[in-house]
């Protein structure tokens, strides 16, 4: 059940301030138990004020996601997670991320075109990524709802996951995330049309 | 209306105008996605960002094909992309199809989602059993809206009249009927699981329907592609497994029932004595020839009558031709194209369901649209579409529309409608209370 959304683009990023009811089950802050507003404890979903609080926190916590590459007063180096995105043209984009970063929003922050149509609410499959073999097994098992959405992802592979469900940990240092190539004459069931 | 923001990024110097018949944007995201699937509607935020780009303009309340022709658009713009989807529906083609009590899923969904042209539907929900023909996600949406506790629905953006009708509804049993077998259902696991978990309802799947699958070796099921395998396993579990004690208790208390019925095709819709409304449906009993996606339903000669007071046909949408100057394949009901380039017509493109037919989820249609955008960009870069000379664009079209007494609704006009709907909704704990007529929308837009 979503409250209505207001949209504002900020700094040219797709990061949004919105009055969308958060789904604590999928929020990385909740998973890391670092949701300062205690949203998971909010029983009364009718309260708009608590959501504004949450969103304000999400916005200021942009600092959490802001990586300072090569900066001498960078945060604890133990917190750094090296990630490589491989975009749809095959270009490798290394990113210095931090523990706790969300793979989808991290991609957006770095201008990588990983779509997130439903905004991390497990209602689409547009943020599908292929995870490097060395790191795939280090990810926690997907919950049923993620598996259900992955079922609908085009060009699903054994190492597919939804980017919005991956939260970076130290274990995942060196992880490589490949964006599925969007091919021409594309069919959901993998059917390749015969030339005519 | 899948105009991707990629197109804006790629076309760095270009302007994009969007023409929409209704005063409000977003198409199926507003009128097709079920009210209890609000997260799917989050994509509206992405669309909104695109629409607010300074090089993008939205013109609602403009009926292309009537207020302005495709040819006029082609003269005014370097490229025209047709993205108007599939607003028709496939007919059953059986006697009784036009009786009262029989609706297309397209109209039923339009009704509860506030599509202005469907507001007079007033479906009669005073019967115990409803039959839905079709087993895709739209069929399941309809089943779920008919059976969901209204306490849940009243917090969604379902229209107020639909909510009131559902509160009064006598429907207690919904049969979801398909021509073929369990392994051919078109729905996806998320929607099936929602039925299994729907509060105050219980499933009435028939174990016999799954006998055929059981007799296949385990390998055959586990060899299936993952989505089909997981869905088949969940259906089998629902039909065959003895539920836990807790679940048995929950089911015994449930006041509503849903069921899938397989291997049944409609032959005739049965009428009451004065032939005014439906009282049931006559179904042909099929057997399957072949297996997998290519399996065919073959009538056995047996028939079965099912009593019902509400029949909803959910067998697929269909695109309609917009303008005689645009090629249209009436067999496939799509605009013939090559990677989004309309055949034999330079500068004309299509995307979305109009291009590929009316199936697929947001990710599929999104990728489909990106492909078309790429074709447009390629053609501009290669000179196939000549961008060396400027075209008048909206200036000339606006002039034409004004002459014809058509007043477009801009995106900021829409935002007034949006605001009003949201504030009306707040009063009743809903995300929005939709305006239900074009007149009201225009009134609010122009304030």
Q: Is residue A184 part of a domain?
A: no
Q: Is residue A4 part of a domain?
A: no
In angstroms, rounded to a whole number, what is the distance separating the alpha carbons of residues A95 and A85?
8
In angstroms, rounded to a whole number, what is the distance separating the alpha carbons of residues B436 and B111?
10
Contact A46, B88 (CB under 8 A): no
Q: Which of these, A127, A116, A69, lies nearest to A95 by C-alpha position?
A: A69
Question: Nearest residue on chain A to B367, judged by CA atoms?
Answer: A182
- Asked which of A31-40, B105-114, B354-363, B404-413 is least confident by mean pLDDT, the reply is A31-40
Chain-centroid distance, C-alpha B241: 32
Cβ of A152 within 8 Å of Cβ of B293? The answer is: no
Asked if pLDDT for residue B110 goes beyond 50, the answer is yes
Contact residues, chain B, for A113 at CB < 8 Å: 6
**Which candidate from B44, B190, B367 shows the least CB-CB separation from A182?**
B367
Helices and strands of chain A, counted as H and E runs: 6, 7
Annotated binding site of B for NADP(+): 135-138, 179-180, 191, 360
Long-range contacts of A51-60 (CB under 8 A, 24+ apart): A51/A3, A51/A19, A51/A21, A51/A22, A52/A19, A54/A22, A55/A17, A55/A18, A55/A19, A57/A29, A58/A29, A59/A15, A59/A17
Mutate which of B137, B193, B363, B374 to test chain A, going by most A C-beta atoms within 10 A?
B363
pLDDT, position B10: 47
In angstroms, rounded to a whole number, what is the distance separating the alpha carbons of residues A46 and B337?
49
Domain that holds residue A173: 80-178
Q: Is residue A48 part of a domain?
A: no
**Which candidate from B39, B43, B368 shows the least CB-CB separation from A2?**
B39
pLDDT, position B361: 80
Q: Which of these, A115, A123, A104, A113, lies nearest to A165 by C-alpha position?
A: A104
Q: Which of these, B21, B122, B120, lies nearest to B442 by C-alpha position?
A: B21
pLDDT tens, residue by residue, B111-164: 999 999 999 999 999 999 999 999 999 999 999 999 999 999 999 999 999 999
Going from the C-alpha of B160 to that of each of A78, B106, B261, B436, the distances in angstroms are: 55, 19, 32, 10
Q: Is residue A104 part of a domain?
A: yes
DSSP string covering B221-282, please?
HHTS-HHHHHHHHHHHHHHHSPPPHHHHHHHHH--EEEEEE-SEEEEEEEE-TTSSBEEEEE
pLDDT tens, residue by residue, B332-350: 999 999 999 999 999 999 9
Q: Please return the burial class of A118, using the count of CB atoms within 10 Å of its CB with bins 0-12, 13-18 and 19+.
A: buried
How many CA atoms lie within 13 Å of B337's alpha carbon, on the beta-carbon side? Answer: 30
Residue B94 CB partners (closer than 8 Å, separation 6+): B266, B267, B268, B269
CB atoms within 10 A of CB B385: 20
In angstroms, rounded to a whole number, what is the distance separating the alpha carbons of residues B353 and B374?
17
Cβ of B364 within 8 Å of Cβ of A188? The answer is: yes
Cβ of B230 within 8 Å of Cβ of A124? The answer is: no
Chain-centroid distance, C-alpha B119: 17
Mutate which of A2, A24, A105 to test chain B, going by most B C-beta atoms within 10 A?
A2
Mutate which of A13, A108, A115 to test chain B, going by most B C-beta atoms within 10 A?
A115
In angstroms, rounded to a whole number, what is the distance separating the alpha carbons of residues B412 and B421?
14
**Which candidate from B37, B226, B359 shows the least CB-CB separation from A156?**
B226
pLDDT tens, residue by residue, B204-257: 999 888 887 777 655 567 788 899 999 999 999 999 999 999 999 999 999 999
Provide residues of B within 8 Å CB-CB of chain A.
Answer: 6, 36-46, 48-49, 52, 155-156, 188-190, 193, 225-227, 230-231, 293, 339, 359-364, 366-368, 370-371, 422, 425, 429, 431-432
Contact B409, B445 (CB under 8 A): yes
Going from the C-alpha of B162 to that of each of A13, B47, B158, B172, B237, the distances in angstroms are: 39, 27, 7, 17, 33
Mutate which of B227, B351, B372, B421 to test chain A, going by most A C-beta atoms within 10 A?
B227
Cβ of A152 within 8 Å of Cβ of B44? The answer is: no
Cβ of B431 within 8 Å of Cβ of A3? The answer is: yes
Compute the radius of gyration of chain B from its Cα atoms: 24
Strand A80-86, strand A175-178: pairing: parallel
- Asked which of A63-72, A150-159, B72-81, B121-130 is least confident by mean pLDDT, the reply is A63-72
Q: Which of these, B135, B144, B138, lies nearest to B256 by C-alpha position?
A: B144
DSSP string covering A29-53, please?
HHHTT--TT-GGG---TT-HHHHHH
**CATH code of the domain containing A174:** 3.10.20.30
Contact B40, B156 (CB under 8 A): no
Number of domains observed in the structure of chain A: 1
Give the residue-averaged pLDDT of B301-328.
96
- Asked which of A175-184, B72-81, B95-104, B114-123 is least confident by mean pLDDT, the reply is A175-184
Q: Is residue A98 part of a domain?
A: yes
pLDDT, position B15: 87
Q: Is residue A61 part of a domain?
A: no
In angstroms, rounded to a whole number, what is the distance separating the alpha carbons of residues A65 and B111?
44
Could you give the dihedral angle defined by the CA atoms of residues B39, B63, B407 and B55, in that order, rounded to the nearest 10 degrees?
Answer: 60
Sign of CA dihedral B219, B220, B223, B226: negative
Q: Is residue A87 part of a domain?
A: yes
ipTM of the complex: 0.86
Cβ of B39 within 8 Å of Cβ of A115? The answer is: no
Q: Report all structural domains of chain B as residue ranges with CATH numbers, in order of start.
A: 5-86+318-446 (3.40.50.720), 91-315 (3.50.50.60)
In angstroms, rounded to a whole number, what is the distance separating the alpha carbons of residues A100 and A168?
5
Cβ of B46 within 8 Å of Cβ of A46? The answer is: no
Residue B367 CB partners (closer than 8 Å, separation 6+): A154, A182, A186
DSSP string covering B377-392, please?
HHHHHHTSS--SS---
Look up the pTM and report it: 0.84
Asked if pLDDT for residue A3 goes beyond 80, the answer is no
Going from the C-alpha of B93 to that of each of A177, B97, B267, B315, B330, the distances in angstroms are: 50, 7, 9, 11, 17
Contact B18, B57 (CB under 8 A): yes
Q: Is residue A141 part of a domain?
A: yes
- Asked which of B159-173, B211-225, B312-326 is least confident by mean pLDDT, the reply is B211-225
Contact B137, B188 (CB under 8 A): yes
SS3 B58: strand
Q: What phi and psi, each to the nearest 5 degrees, are found at residue B202?
A: -135, 150
Distance to chain B for A73, nearest Cα, Å: 35
């Amino acid at each position: 059940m979503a409250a209505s959304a207001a949209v504002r683009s900020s700094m040219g990023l797709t990061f949004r301030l919105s009055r969308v009811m958060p789904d604590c089950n999928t929020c990385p802050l909740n998973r890391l138990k670092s949701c300062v507003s205690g949203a998971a404890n909010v029983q009364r979903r009718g309260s708009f004020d608590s959501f504004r609080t949450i969103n304000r926190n999400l916005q200021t916590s942009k600092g959490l996601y802001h990586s300072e590459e090569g900066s001498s007063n960078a945060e604890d180096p133990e917190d750094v997670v090296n990630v490589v995105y491989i975009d749809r043209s095959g270009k490798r984009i290394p990113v210095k991320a931090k523990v706790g970063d969300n793979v989808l929003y991290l991609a957006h922050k770095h201008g990588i075109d990983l779509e997130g149509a439903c905004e991390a609410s497990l209602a689409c499959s547009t943020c599908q990524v292929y995870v490097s073999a060395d790191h795939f097994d280090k990810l926690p098992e997907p919950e049923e709802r993620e598996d259900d959405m992955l079922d609908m992802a085009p060009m699903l592979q054994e190492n597919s996951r939804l980017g919005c469900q991956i939260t970076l940990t130290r274990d995942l240092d060196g992880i490589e995330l490949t964006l599925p190539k969007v091919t021409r004459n594309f069919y959901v069931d993998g059917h390749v049309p015969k030339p005519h | 209306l899948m105009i991707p923001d990629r197109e804006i990024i790629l076309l760095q110097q270009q302007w994009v105008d969007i023409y929409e018949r209704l005063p409000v944007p977003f198409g199926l995201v507003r009128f097709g996605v079920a009210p209890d699937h609000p997260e799917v509607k989050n994509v509206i935020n992405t669309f909104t960002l695109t629409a607010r780009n300074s090089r993008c303009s939205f013109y609602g309340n403009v009926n292309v094909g009537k207020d302005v022709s495709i040819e006029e658009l082609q003269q005014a713009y370097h490229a025209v992309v047709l993205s108007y989807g599939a607003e028709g529906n496939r007919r059953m083609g059986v006697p009784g199809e036009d009786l009262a009590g029989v609706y297309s899923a397209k109209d039923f969904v339009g009704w509860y989602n506030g599509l202005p042209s469907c507001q007079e539907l007033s479906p009669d929900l005073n019967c115990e059993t409803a039959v839905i023909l079709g087993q895709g996600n739209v069929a399941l949406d309809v089943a779920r809206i008919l059976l969901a506790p209204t306490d849940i629905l009243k917090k969604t953006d379902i229209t107020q009249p639909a909510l009131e009708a559902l509160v009064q509804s006598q429907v207690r049993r919904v049969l979801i009927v398909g021509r073929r077998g369990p392994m051919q259902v078109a729905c996806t696991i998320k929607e099936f699981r929602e039925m299994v978990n729907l509060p105050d309802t219980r499933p009435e799947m028939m174990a016999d329907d799954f006998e055929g699958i059981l007799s296949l070796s385990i390998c055959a099921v586990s060899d299936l592609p993952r989505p089909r395998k997981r869905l088949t396993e969940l259906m089998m579990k629902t039909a065959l497994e003895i539920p836990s004690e807790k679940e048995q208790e929950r089911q015994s208390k449930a006041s509503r029932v849903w069921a899938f019925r397989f291997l049944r095709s409609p032959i005739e819709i049965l009428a009451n004595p004065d032939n005014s409304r439906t009282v049931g449906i006559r179904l042909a009993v099929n057997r399957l020839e072949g297996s997998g996606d290519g399996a065919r339903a073959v009538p056995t000669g047996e028939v079965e009558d099912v009593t019902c007071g509400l029949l909803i046909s959910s067998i697929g949408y269909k695109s309609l031709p917009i303008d005689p100057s645009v090629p249209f394949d009436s067999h496939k009901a799509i605009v013939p194209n090559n990677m989004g380039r309309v055949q034999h017509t330079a500068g004309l493109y299509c995307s979305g369901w109009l291009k590929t037919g009316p199936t697929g989820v947001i990710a599929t249609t999104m990728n489909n649209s990106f492909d078309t955008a790429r074709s447009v960009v390629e053609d501009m870069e290669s000179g196939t579409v000549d961008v060396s000379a400027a075209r008048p664009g909206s200036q000339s079209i606006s002039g034409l529309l004004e002459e014809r007494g058509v007043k477009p609704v801009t995106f900021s006009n829409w935002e007034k409608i949006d605001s009003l709907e949201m504030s009306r909704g707040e009063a009743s704990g809903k995300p929005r209370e939709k305006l239900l007529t074009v007149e009201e929308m225009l009134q609010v837009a122009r304030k």
